[in-house]
Amino acid sequence: MTAPTRRQKEAITASPLYIQGDIGLHQPKVSEGKPAVRLVSVEASVDMPPPASSQPAFVQRILGDATRVSSVIPAKSVDLIVTSPPYWQKRDYGHADQLGQEATPAEYVQALIGAMRDWKKVLKNTGSIFLNVGDTYHKRSLVGIPGRIEAAAVDDGWIVRNRIIWAKTSGMPEPAKNRLASRHEYIIHLVLKPNYYYDLHGYSQKYGNGSNPGDIWYVGLERDTGGHLAPFPSEIVERAITLACPYSVCSHCGTPLEREWKRTAELDESRPQARRAMQLALEHGLGPEHIAAIQATGITDAGKAKSYQNGTGRNSEEVQRLAKHAKKVLGGYFREFTFAKRVTTGWKACACGQGEMVPSVVLDPFVGTGTTLDVAARLGHSAYGIDLNPAV
Ligand SMILES: C[S@@+](CC[C@H](N)C(=O)[O-])C[C@H]1O[C@@H](n2cnc3c(N)ncnc32)[C@H](O)[C@@H]1O
């Protein structure tokens, strides 16, 4: 059996099980006689927590304006926003209220920042935005749209955590003769508060080899665009969800389920420095207690003590002695053990005791073909998708 094409998948996501409605004066209407929610299958993985509650994930596609999502989505109910807004003066989506056709870059940026101000109302304080934006050539010059968005976002109270480079492993031919073809776009990661939800460990396991995989994403374009001009690859959405969308949240207080982890003594053997560190440790007979001492003291021994604390806020004398010895024999390779691989030890739910754990919620305010809805549903999350235009 061949895999369904994007058009076939679209036919599924455009089914009446999705809510179709308007943003504005009234709530979206549920198609008569049809359930508002659809059941989704969840991918299993050893590192995933067990399903938390019997409440199924929902997917809602809403006809409406991205600048007014707060009129239909409950306040502070969204865990993650992943979206690709229209790029400045790139494509005409044929709707009077569309974003992207502003006369100047400054007006475009202000329109987008205005929309994001509305998203603040629905995004939880632990939430994130992953905004896929590209630059535009105007009068032969790059306009610098991504940088302008970042600067304006910071001025509007957002915290910019990463400018991820989406390096395209394939691309359309370009007619330009005196400049290089454009082969990258940006994914800007923005948050409201410093203590946002983030699962670097889960992401590293999926997309790296256990250590921090870095801010360049090599992702090819997906060929089957189902007639839509600008869908983004599903991997962009999957990476964002893996990084910054909790598996489940408390239905009462909204707190995300958090992964608990501990460091092991295992290093990334693909790195020559790590291999040398392991060799030195072996030669000098360093044991698990030395590795634990290294990890407890960190590189500077300042403010790192946790389970090895002796009650005074610093590491015990024995831990300091072990770490000192290890540092002496390992030299500069000492620090390799401070980023040894981590393993999941459990999952921590909130302590309010008044709710149950329910699927977390993803929003795409410029949902287009519904890539975000498909990926969110496949991974077991609830999702809202908004667009001025119905699904093609
Ligand atoms: C770049 S496309 C999104 C593509 C999408 N990521 C996908 O994978 O199919 C931008 C979408 O924004 C929609 N759009 C433009 N202005 C809008 C607005 N003010 N509110 C909601 N949607 C809008 C367009 O109709 C278009 O579908």
In this structure, the answer to whether residues 12 and 115 fall within a common structural domain is yes
d(CA 171, CA 102): 27
1 in a structural domain? no
69 in a structural domain? yes
Atom of ligand 1 nearest to the CA of 386: 21
Distance 141 CA to ligand 1 centre (A): 25
Ligand 1: residue whose CA is nearest its atom 27: 368
- Number of domains forming the structure of the chain: 2
Per-residue pLDDT tens digits for 140-179: 999 999 999 999 999 999 999 999 999 998 777 888 899 9
pLDDT of residue 299: 60
Per-residue pLDDT tens digits for 53-68: 778 899 999 999 999 9
- For 176, the token pair is 């330009």
Closest CA to 240 of 127, 73, 350, 345: 127
Write phi, then psi, for 193 (nearest 5 degrees). -130, 155
Determine contact, residues 360/80, Cβ cutoff 8 Å. yes
Which of left, alpha, beta for 247 (phi over 0: left; psi -120 to 50: alpha)? alpha
Whether 204 shows a pLDDT value over 80: the answer reads yes
Closest CA to 184 of 146, 149, 213: 146
Which of 3-7, 112-116, 142-146, 198-202 shows the lowest mean pLDDT across its residues? 3-7
- In sign, the C-alpha dihedral spanning 72, 233, 147, 161 is positive
User: How many residues does this entry show for the chain?
Assistant: 392
Rounded to 5°, the CA angle 270-274-280 comes to 135
Contacts of 144 (CB under 8 A, 6+ apart): 105, 135
Within 110-213, strands assigned E span 123-133, 137-138, 141-142, 159-168, 184-191
CA dihedral 23, 27, 33, 35 (to 10 degrees): 80
pLDDT of residue 135: 95
Which of 151-160, 209-218, 238-247 shows the lowest mean pLDDT across its residues? 209-218
In this structure, the answer to whether residues 239 and 306 fall within a common structural domain is no
134 in a structural domain? yes
Determine contact, residues 222/166, Cβ cutoff 8 Å. no
In this structure, the answer to whether residues 291 and 221 fall within a common structural domain is no
Q: Which of 6, 9, 98, 235 maximizes ligand 1 atoms within 8 Å of its Cβ, making it the mutation to test the pocket?
A: 98
Which span out of 22-26, 52-56, 262-266 was modeled with the highest average pLDDT? 262-266
Contacts of 193 (CB under 8 A, 6+ apart): 125, 126, 159
Atom of ligand 1 nearest to the CA of 115: 19
In this structure, the answer to whether residues 41 and 81 fall within a common structural domain is yes
Domain region containing 330 = 265-340
